[in-house]
């Protein structure tokens, strides 16, 4: 049975509610199928309601919850399913679901902080581009007619703006088509080819400015997911496999494959990680201490907290720097436009006099 979420998506908040409510009802002695049905009746998302209906029917037919969740990969990721499967195996499904909900909420708070920090710079850039395009299409053509009728000699800056405006007004459809074509080609290269996908993941990790935050971001995801899976009783090799896919970067997937090969031979995870240049030394050292003390889950949680705080701080720093830089760029652009428009107008006034 395939996932049917087409017109609506299931939010992280709804999945947290599902896990927490299910945990509360199971711990209270409510049968699993009845618990899922009660959650289904409470949700307002029609797409999620349909998914829960299918899960409810599967449970009534005697299927395991983890197996039923696996039929909806667009809703429940591998981490969610693995944790539930572990809870079923150990008979601690309620505790595991509560733990899962707590971790998912922590990750959601972290993502919200990142979005909030990036919202203002993105808004400023979008508005700046919109104003420039509007000026080029609506304002400059009117001024062009005035300048042509007056016969005033235009400076190079005004000629450049008028030429750009003429091109956009006449060939706007070509600009849009070329832009769409470039986006399509890049999308096909970076998403549909193996080398392209790896190249894109490398860019996301190592591009200038981006790498200032990306390493911390990926390490926080790695540490948080690993801690969650280990605390749920998932074997270490399976934990590494699931975490590699959860990180969703092929550079780290390649690294984790090397780590798995070493761990299968009985070598501690910290040893191969310490040899990887894309894994900070702090990570391998903390994992080594966790392996030696038997407190790997606790140390990975602390590591995740550290990197999440680092990402939060760095993004706020970038956001604070973007504001004055954006003001300077906008000021330069506005000054250039004003000079290019007012200078010939001043010349026109002299001609009239």
| DSSP labels, 146-188 | HHHHHTPPPPHHHHHHHHHHHHHHHHHHHHHHHHHHHHHHHHH
Closest CA to 36 of 76, 79, 90: 76
- Residue 112: what are its φ and ψ, rounded to 5°? -65, -40
Instruction: Give the per-residue pLDDT at 267.
Output: 93
What is the reported pTM?
0.74
User: Tokens 């395939």, residue?
Assistant: 2
Instruction: Give the per-residue pLDDT at 154.
Output: 76
The C-alpha atoms of residue 185 and residue 179 are separated, in whole angstroms, by 10
Instruction: Give the per-residue pLDDT at 7.
Output: 45
Whole-Å CA distances, 208 to 88, 168, 278, 311: 45, 32, 15, 16
The C-alpha atoms of residue 95 and residue 20 are separated, in whole angstroms, by 10
**Domains, the chain:** 12-105 (1.20.81.30)
The C-alpha atoms of residue 201 and residue 218 are separated, in whole angstroms, by 11
**Over the range 294-316, which residues count as b (16 or more CB within 10 Å of their CB) and which as e?**
eebbebbbebbbbbbebbbeebe
The low-confidence residues of the chain, meaning pLDDT below 70, are 1-8, 152, 347-353
Burial of residue 50, with CB atoms counted within 10 A of its CB: 0-12 exposed, 13-18 middle, 19 or more buried:
middle
Instruction: Give the per-residue pLDDT at 3.
Output: 41
Instruction: Give the per-residue pLDDT at 65.
Output: 92
Instruction: Give the per-residue pLDDT at 59.
Output: 92
Instruction: Give the per-residue pLDDT at 5.
Output: 40
Instruction: Give the per-residue pLDDT at 302.
Output: 92
Instruction: Give the per-residue pLDDT at 78.
Output: 85
Sequence-distant (6+) residues with CB within 8 A of 261 are none
- Alpha-helical runs (H) found in 193-295: 194-206, 211-231, 236-247, 250-263, 270-274, 281-293
| DSSP labels, 178-201 | HHHHHHHHHHHHHHHSHHHHHHHH
């Amino acid at each position: 049975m395939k996932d049917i979420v087409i017109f609506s998506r299931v939010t992280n908040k709804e999945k947290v509610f599902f896990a927490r409510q299910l945990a509360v009802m199971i711990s209270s002695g409510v049968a699993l199928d009845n618990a899922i049905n009660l959650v289904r009746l409470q949700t307002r998302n029609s797409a999620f309601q349909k998914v829960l209906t299918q899960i409810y029917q599967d449970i009534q037919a005697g299927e395991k919850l983890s197996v039923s969740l696996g039929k909806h990969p667009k809703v429940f990721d591998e981490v969610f399913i693995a944790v539930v499967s572990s809870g079923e195996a150990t008979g601690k499904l309620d505790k595991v679901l509560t733990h899962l909900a707590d971790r998912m909420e922590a990750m959601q708070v972290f993502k919200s902080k990142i979005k909030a920090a990036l919202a203002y710079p993105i808004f400023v850039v979008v508005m700046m581009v919109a104003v420039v395009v509007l000026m080029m299409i609506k304002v400059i053509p009117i001024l062009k007619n005035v300048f042509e009728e007056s016969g005033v000699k235009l400076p190079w800056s005004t000629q450049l703006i008028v030429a750009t405006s003429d091109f956009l007004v006449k060939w706007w459809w070509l600009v849009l088509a070329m832009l769409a074509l470039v986006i399509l080609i890049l999308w096909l290269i970076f998403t549909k080819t193996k080398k392209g996908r790896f190249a894109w993941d490398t860019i996301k990790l190592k591009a200038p400015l981006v790498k200032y935050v990306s390493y911390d971001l990926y390490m926080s995801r790695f540490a948080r997911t690993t801690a969650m899976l280990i605390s749920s009783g998932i074997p270490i090799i399976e934990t590494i496999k699931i975490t590699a896919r959860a990180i969703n970067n092929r550079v780290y997937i390649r690294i984790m494959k090397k780590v798995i090969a070493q761990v299968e031979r009985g070598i501690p995870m910290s040893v191969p990680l310490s040899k990887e240049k894309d894994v900070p030394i702090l990570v391998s050292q903390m994992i080594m201490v966790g392996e030696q003390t038997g407190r790997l889950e606790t140390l990975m949680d602390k590591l995740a907290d550290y990197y999440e705080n680092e990402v939060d701080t760095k993004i706020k720093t970038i956001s604070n720097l973007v504001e004055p830089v954006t003001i300077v760029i906008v000021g330069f652009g506005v000054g250039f436009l004003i000079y290019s428009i007012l200078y010939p107008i001043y010349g026109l006034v002299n001609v009239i006099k």
